[in-house]
């Protein structure tokens, strides 16, 4: 891969995973009403990390990755509630917004 392609990909990655952009996208379909510990940005990064690093069998696997990555201690129930929202489920399944 040429250096310019790596640079372009790096810039695109930074734009795509920008904290401001992801948090704004999370507010649009009303996935995230209030931002507490589980923000759209942190959730997206932890999901990319979890799915990219090993086989995921349960939501608890994603929650453990979130806690480790974000240095948080979010309990399972609030984490599950965030992912169980209908708008979050639809977006995760078909990529619509």
pLDDT tens digits along 19-64: 888 777 767 655 555 556 778 788 888 888 888 888 888 889 989 9
88: Cα within 13 Å, side-chain hemisphere: 18
| pTM, entire model | 0.65
Both tokens assigned to 32: 């995230």
């Amino acid at each position: 891969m040429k250096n310019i392609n790596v640079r372009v990909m790096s810039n695109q990655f930074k734009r795509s995973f920008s904290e401001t952009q992801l948090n704004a996208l999370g507010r649009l379909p009303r996935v995230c009403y209030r931002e507490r510990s589980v923000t759209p940005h942190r959730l997206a990064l932890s999901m990319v990390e979890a799915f990219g690093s090993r086989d995921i069998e349960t939501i608890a696997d994603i929650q453990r990755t979130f806690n480790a990555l974000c240095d948080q201690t979010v309990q399972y129930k609030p984490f599950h509630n965030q992912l169980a929202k209908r708008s979050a489920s639809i977006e995760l399944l078909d990529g619509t917004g």
